[in-house]
A = this chain, B = another copy of it.
Amino acid sequence: MYELGVVYRNIRRADAAVTGDLGRFGSATVHEAMGRVGLLQPYMRPIFSGAQVSGTAVTVLLHPGDNWMMHVVAEQIRPGDIVVAAITAPCTDGYFGDLLATSLQARGALGLVIDAGVRDVKTLKEMNFPVWSKAISSKGTIKATVGSVNIPVVCAGMLITPGDVIVADDDGVVCVPAANAEKTRDAAAAREANEGEKRAKLASGILGLDMYKMREPLEKAGLRYID
């Protein structure tokens, strides 16, 4: 359960260089590098395609239909952050539009991940401010109830602690705990090291069956070929 009505000003952010490296690998590679955990549910989709970002999470907990705390979290942003917004109950309202995006971008935020809806998506695309959300909705929100900023939140089924690394692209959104960032970066780099070679082999027509030496284990597992 959540602590309500608090703003934590000091959070320990993951290392900036490592955070940047993780973004270059993309969400699928990072997710593999962590042992296939850390992925937010796949209903979280980018509002426009092509963006690929990484940043440190500043979190905000909002109430259904109420975006008051978006203004509170704006003050806590440092350049390189990504705002992660969770709601206390399922909601598809449009919590966020071009004015808030202008404010977040001015504060140095690189994007928004929100388990609810956003609006002004045409303008957000023109501003190149990427958002991953559950919905797009014109429905506005009120400013009546306080939530919290920079507490651990559950966003799209994933627990996200302030300072964690967020990696987001067209494939989805992954959260890397700050403590695991460097280890994950190294594992991702190792994964990618020989991808070029593999791709070249596969492009030449060599089968994964042979490249990965799968024929024997498949036979052991009982696979039979029938002519």
**A residues engaging B (CB < 8 A)?**
1-2, 4-10, 26-28, 30-32, 34-39, 41-42, 45, 49-50, 52, 64-65, 68, 70-72, 74-75, 88-90, 92-94, 97-100, 102-103, 105-107, 117, 119-122, 135-140, 143-146, 152, 154, 157-159, 164, 169-172, 174-177, 180, 195, 198-199, 202-205, 207-209, 212, 214, 218, 221-227
Contact = CB atoms under 8 A, between A and B. Distances in A.
Contact of A154 (B107, B144, B154): B154
Given A152-B159, A225-B7, A68 B171 contact: no
Contact of A34 (B1, B120, B198, B221): B1
User: How many subunits of this chain does the assembly comprise?
Assistant: 6
Contacts of A224: 5-7
A68 B9 contact: no
Nearest to A45: B136
B100 A159 contact: no
A42 B98 contact: no
Contacts of A180: 1
Contact of A50 (B90, B92, B122): B122
Contacts of A175: 1
Contacts of A98: 199
B9 A75 contact: no
B90 A214 contact: no
Contacts of A143: 214
A120 B207 contact: no
Given A7-B223, A146-B221, A172 B137 contact: yes
